[in-house]
Copies of this chain bind each other. A is one copy, B any other.
Amino acid sequence: MMELTRKGEYAIRGIVFLASRPPEQICLLSDIAAAVDVPPTFLAKIFQQFSKIGLVKSYRGTGGGFVLGRSADKITLLEVVEAVEGPIVPNRCVINKGECARDATCNVHPVWVDVQHRVRDILNEVTLQKLAGTNPPK
C-alpha cells in the first residue's frame, strides 16, 4: 500500500542526479537517462512535467538540455513527488469535503488527514541538496 510508482521513482532519480551536477552545467536528457538507468522516452515525459512547473529549466535545440529551475536546497522531495504523482491523498475523502457521504459521521476521515500531513511534512523537509549530498559529481 501507498507505493510510489516507477514514474515517481524515476523522477526522483533523474532530478537528484541533475542536482548532483555543477549548477550551471546543461545536461542532456539522454545522459541523465543513461546515468540513472531509466528509459529515455519515459524520462522525457517526466522532465516535461518538471519543466512546466519550473522545477527544471529546459533549453531546446543544439547545445540544449536541462538544468535545475532553482538551487538544489530550494527544491523539496515533496515537490518532486507531487509533480509527477499528483497530490498526496491517502483517501479520496481527504481531497474535498462532500466527497464522502458519511462525512459528518466518519471517524476515519481525520486519521487520513493526519497521515497526509505527516507524510507531506516529512517529504517537505528533504531537499535535493541533501539527497544529492553524498553522491559526489563524478
Q: Which residues of A contact B (CB under 8 A)?
A: 1-5, 8-9, 12, 16, 77, 81-82, 85-92, 105, 107-108, 111-112, 114-115, 118-119, 122-123, 126, 130-135
Contacts and interface: CB of A to CB of B under 8 A. Distances in A.
A85 to B, nearest CB: 4
Tallying the copies of this chain within the complex gives 2
A12 B81 CA distance: 27
A133 to B, nearest CB: 6
Given A115-B122, A123-B115, A77 B108 contact: yes
Most buried by B among A4, A82, A114, A126: A4
A1 B123 contact: no
B1 A135 contact: no
